Amino acid sequence: MPKNLTPQDQWETQFEVPLPGEPRNIGPLETLFQRLLNRTERLRSRIGDLLGLPWDATPPDTLAGLHQRVGTLEAAQGGTTLQAHRSAPVLDHPDGSVTLPKLGAGLGYGSSPYLDPIAHYQATGQELRLEVGQVAAVAVNNVTTQPLRMAVGPDDVYEFVWVQQRGYVSGSGGISLLLANNTTYTDAFRETSIYSGYSGSPICGGGLRGGFVISATPDSVASGVISVPSRSMIRYGGEVGFSDVNFQPMKVVSTTFWTNNSIQWTSMGTLSFPYTALGVFLVRRIR
């Protein structure tokens, strides 16, 4: 007479069958079928746990039914709703495989169309390295130093725009720098500049600096290129004359080279001003 096997809700991992030539014995076959039955029961049970419904429940065939099924699934996951995942401030994949650079150009925090390295650093503790084509914006709000919180690679090339949002301030001249690696390397940078419009004829300037020169007065709008492999910055801009008497606009072309090749450049650096600065620094990686 056939024997009924009762399934048990447990996960089986060991399956054995009789070898050819062994004496006929129903015992090993019974054990094999029992374990297969147990595994099937376990799978059925787990499917029910995940669905929050019987494993063979009828699939929803209306939007209302689908909405109800989603609610049941969320309840089965401890009440974590899909909306909570959509608004989570930190990407919460358990293996950390989802990162901001993988999500495409233009992804930032909040409503800004630009990437925000400061917010990224506050959220992750890591400096943000832009992908090619991505644009970042760093606000400078009445401070004398502003870390950019941007990592750079050995072959990276960037475009930048510095926009000072404060008018001319008497007696507030001075050189503003980008301090590579957030460090002042005294006299390790050589700058050469050509100004025109200040006194009617071009004026050459420059010298040894502690970083890359981004402006020489607090009234400038500058743009240029930052090249990590050549350890240089080329700047084009407009500035106001150094003297209150000669309050005249100037055009400037400036090149700064980092003369010490033994130091690895890993962080774009910190903006450093000899006055309280107000403006925005835009950066786009082009290589």
pTM of the complete model beyond 0.75: no
222 burial level (CB within 10 Å; 0-12, 13-18, 19+): buried
What are 70-119's pLDDT values in tens digits? 777 666 555 555 555 555 555 555 555 555 555 544 444 444 678 999 98
3-state secondary structure of 233: strand
List of E strands, 95-182:
135-147, 157-164, 176-179
* Amino acid at the residue 12: E
Measure the CA angle with vertex 148, ends 146 and 149; round to 5°. Answer: 125
CA 26 distance to own-chain centroid: 63
Residues 6+ apart with CB under 8 A from 100: 91, 107, 115, 120, 128
200 pLDDT band, cuts 50/70/90, is: low
Do the beta carbons of residue 157 and residue 163 sit within 8 Å?
no
What are 110-136's pLDDT values in tens digits? 446 789 999 899 988 999 999 999 999
Question: In whole angstroms, what is the distance from residue 270 CA to residue 159 CA?
Answer: 16
What are 23-72's pLDDT values in tens digits? 666 667 777 777 887 888 888 787 777 666 777 777 778 888 878 777 77
Q: Where are the domains of the chain?
A: 101-285
* Amino acid at the residue 272: S
Length of the chain: 287
Burial 147-176 (b: 16+ CB within 10 A, else e): bbbbbbeeebbbebbbebeeeeeeeebebb
Task: Write out the DSSP string of 244-257.
Answer: STT--EEEEEEEEE
In whole angstroms, how far apart are CA 85 and each of 89, 115, 144, 173?
9, 21, 38, 49
Do the beta carbons of residue 159 and residue 227 sit within 8 Å?
no
What are 206-247's pLDDT values in tens digits? 788 999 998 876 657 889 999 999 999 999 877 655 544 455
Question: In whole angstroms, what is the distance from residue 42 CA to residue 5 CA?
Answer: 15
Residue 253, both tokens: 């072309």
3-state secondary structure of 107: coil
DSSP H or E run through 36: helix 26-51
Quote the pLDDT of residue 91: 52
Task: Tell me which residue has tokens 């402006």.
Answer: 215
